[in-house]
Amino acid sequence: MPYKGTVRGKVIELESDVPIPEGTEVEIVVKDKEKKTATASDHPRSSPQAILKFLDARPLCTPDDVEALLQAIRQGKRPVSFEGIFDKN
């Protein structure tokens, strides 16, 4: 279960009391308040609000990434044949 808190020097002050015994090993994930990613959201995963927030976020790729993808698509194109297998005589 995640708990939220704030760092003050070498101490982390939690927002609420935590029922964890002293000496329990914990793992801390540091989140940058200024840089929220497209997946960082206060909304439930896959909710309409989370999807709308994701769509409003800036793209995670550069124009060079887009150009590389378009080039790969162009290189992978196959010729189109409108002739079916029963059309051959």
| Residue with tokens 């309409």, as numbered in its chain | 48
- Contact call for residues 12 and 4 (beta carbons, < 8 A): no
Instruction: Select the more confidently predicted residue: 71 or 5.
Output: 71
Phi, psi of 78 (to 5 degrees): -110, 150
SS3 label, residue 66: helix
pLDDT digits (tens, 9 = 90+) for 20-57: 888 888 888 777 665 555 455 577 888 888 888 888 87
| Cα–Cα distance for residue pair 13/4, rounded to 1 Å | 9
Whole-structure pTM value: 0.31
- Contact call for residues 60 and 38 (beta carbons, < 8 A): yes
